[in-house]
Structure 1
Amino acid sequence: MSSFNIALNFEDGVTRFIECKAGEKVLDAAFRARINLPMDCSDGVCGTCKCKAESGRYDLGDDYIEDALSDDEKCGGLVLTCQMVPQSDCVIAVPASSAVCKTGQSKFAATVAKIELHNDAAVVLELDVEENAPVFLPGQYVNIDVPGSGQHRSYSFSSAPGESKLSFLIKKIPGGVMSTWLEAAQTGDKLELIGPLGSFYLRDVQRPLLFLAGGTGLAPFLSMLEVLARAKSRQKVHLIYGVTRDLDLVQVEAIEAYTAKLPNFSFSTVVADDASSHPRKGWVTQHIPADALNDGDVDVYLCGPPPMVDAVRKHFDDQGVKPNSFHYEKFTPNVAPKAAA
């Protein structure tokens, strides 16, 4: 490969992708893209350009001093971008805001390709991208401007990176700004999007995964599952999909399809409504199998409304469960901002 895609994730949630040529250092590639990553000496002496490599293969060479990057820091995934030469696509967490680095959010246009209703619970929105198709990490989201409202709403990609169409799973809210617009929207209508955004995304897969989805928080996991299927992952993955009512269970057939695509994938659904005849009722925390936690050697990803996120965190604390990593994203359907960790 003559070049690699490097995702720079800034601390304010903005992600920018840059192309790094073979043998090129990340700092040089960023400057070529007019992104001013933190730096001072650019010689591996000061440590100002220190970032964290969250995935990918790279070479740091030995032309830097230990005061700039200690062996312990190196083992923890920290890198000096002035010395880092990628050997694959990489994801780098930058401890600075996009504004400080003199870059910003990417804006692009899209056209409505399909609107599909799922009961009274959700809408699948498919978009054709006219130009500047976004590169994103599975799990991230965009802000979509709602035409004529002066407002935007945030939605996670349910499609995987590199697909010809972008798709989103949108909760149907009576009187909601986006829901109301979608009721009258037509194929060919134009939309403006900003992104990708968010620090909730699939990291390098090195151990079993536990996915916990609440309602339309299922969307990012559909993107992640497709990426895992394309990579022919053989890691164990278990998804628990919790909803309030039976009618809120949407795209179950799409989830079911991954049991054939991913040999070690399993899933279960949970309905909270006491009146439901669903075989698993209650809350997601009541239906987490012990083996899915793998004695803590598991990476947990959770996307759902704030009460669900808080309940899962409390459940883990009460049970003394400490996953290897725990990534979560809270969403409130009527509010644009998202919080991820």
Structure 2
Amino acid sequence: MSHRIALSFEDGVTRFVEAREGETIADAAYRQGINIPLDCRDGACGICKCRVESGRHDGGDYIEDALTEAEAAEGFALACQARPRTDLVVAIPTTSAACKTRPQDFTVALRGVERLSETSLAFSLEAPAGLAFLPGQYVSLRVPGSDQRRAYSFSSAPGAEALSFLVRDIPQGLMSTWLRDQAKPGAAMEFSGPSGSFYLRAVTRPLLFLAGGTGLAPFLSMLGKLAAEGCDQPVHLVYGVTNDSDLVAVEALEDCAARLDGFSFTTVVAAEASGHPRKGYVTAHIAPEHLHGGDVDVYLCGPPAMVDAVRGWLAAQGVMPASFHFEKFSPSGPADAARLAA
């Protein structure tokens, strides 16, 4: 039986490889043209140390100097020794270029554009053969007719029939203008990816999702995966926007709540003039029970100011989440400057 390994590099690039029965992570990658740094191949030097973020593996044979018992307990492994027992997500502590690989390039057809509100659009692309991604990741999409690129997170779950994305409709935005005024079904769209270190890890404790504006997109992808596979932990999403017109895809969240036991969500609008029943910022609507006394994995995607505000608020509450994953985005920035994840 073969297993799929997602190799996540520190520059955000993710590549997927297939491991044959009994094959190590390093050998599977090398066979498919990806050179994970290593030296001894005997579990002695530790150069190929990586972190298994999801899935089960056999750690193999190695000495304490290469990998300590404490490191192994935290999920670290040696790529030259570890053999997958299930599909894996593995964080490789170097760049994709250092491993002689790069993002994949695809050209696909536009399926359509949907107006969600006066400030938001959604568009969908044909899903190309050979594309795999982790829920929460994004692609770098070339704006047709230009050499400019924009980064958009998948709102569709892995394995969906089509790739879908949410876009804020910026009046003078390059991609917004093309989608609004020129896009036609069947138009060729070029993108590279997947990329990003903001993705759903193995779920072992309660989850708190915090979304700002079109930062909802990666959470729709994550929730789609959780709904399809099931989840035995509670999941709560707080979705905040500036104005009533920015609040979109609520029906998709309601559908997720119907399909996924233990999922709940709260919507919030910041504008004073809003008629929404819950106003203010996201932090005002995080209840103590959502933090589980710190035994929670927090995922946050939104503008830089929101990310900084949430981090400050958590510190003020004296809460240190078990893990905190965030992605800052700039709605109109080019792809190489639009994402910063940790």
TM class by smaller structure? over 0.9
**Where does 1:133-144 land on structure 2 (aligned, <5 Å)?**
133-144=130-141
The question of whether the paired residues in 2 share the 8 Å contact of 1:26 and 1:83 is answered with yes
Tell me the equivalent position of 2:27.
28
**Where does 1:1-341 land on structure 2 (aligned, <5 Å)?**
2-61=1-60, 63-129=61-127, 131-183=128-180, 184-335=182-333, 336=335, 337=337, 338-341=339-342
Indicate the RMSD between aligned Cα atoms, in angstroms.
Answer: 0.8
Distance 1:147 1:133 in 2: 23
Distance 2:41 2:29 in 1: 13
Distance 2:129 2:107 in 1: 8
Distance 2:8 2:300 in 1: 20
Distance 1:78 1:260 in 2: 37
Letter of the 1:340 partner, please give it: A
Shift in Å, 1:132: 3.6
Distance 2:272 2:296 in 1: 31
The question of whether the paired residues in 2 share the 8 Å contact of 1:108 and 1:132 is answered with no
The question of whether the paired residues in 2 share the 8 Å contact of 1:233 and 1:262 is answered with yes
Shift in Å, 1:147: 1.0
Distance 1:126 1:303 in 2: 21
Distance 2:130 2:220 in 1: 19
Distance 1:324 1:64 in 2: 29
Shift in Å, 1:232: 1.5
Distance 2:198 2:43 in 1: 30
Shift in Å, 1:234: 2.6
- List gaps (5 residues or longer) in structure 2: none
In the superposition, the TM-score normalised over structure 2's length comes to: 0.98
Give the match's secondary structure for 1:161.
coil
Where in structure 1 do 4 or more consecutive aligned residues deviate above 3 Å? Answer: none
Letter of the 2:170 partner, please give it: I
The question of whether the paired residues in 2 share the 8 Å contact of 1:149 and 1:177 is answered with no
* CA deviation map 1:229-280 (0-9, x unaligned): 1111131000000000001100101101111111111101000000011111
Shift in Å, 1:120: 1.3
Distance 1:208 1:200 in 2: 17
Give the match's secondary structure for 2:146.
coil
Distance 2:102 2:125 in 1: 23
Name the % identity.
58
Letter of the 1:95 partner, please give it: P
- List gaps (5 residues or longer) in structure 1: none
Letter of the 1:19 partner, please give it: E
Q: What is the aligned length?
A: 338
* CA deviation map 1:103-137 (0-9, x unaligned): 111101111101100111111111013x4441000
Give the match's secondary structure for 1:100.
helix
Distance 1:78 1:207 in 2: 19
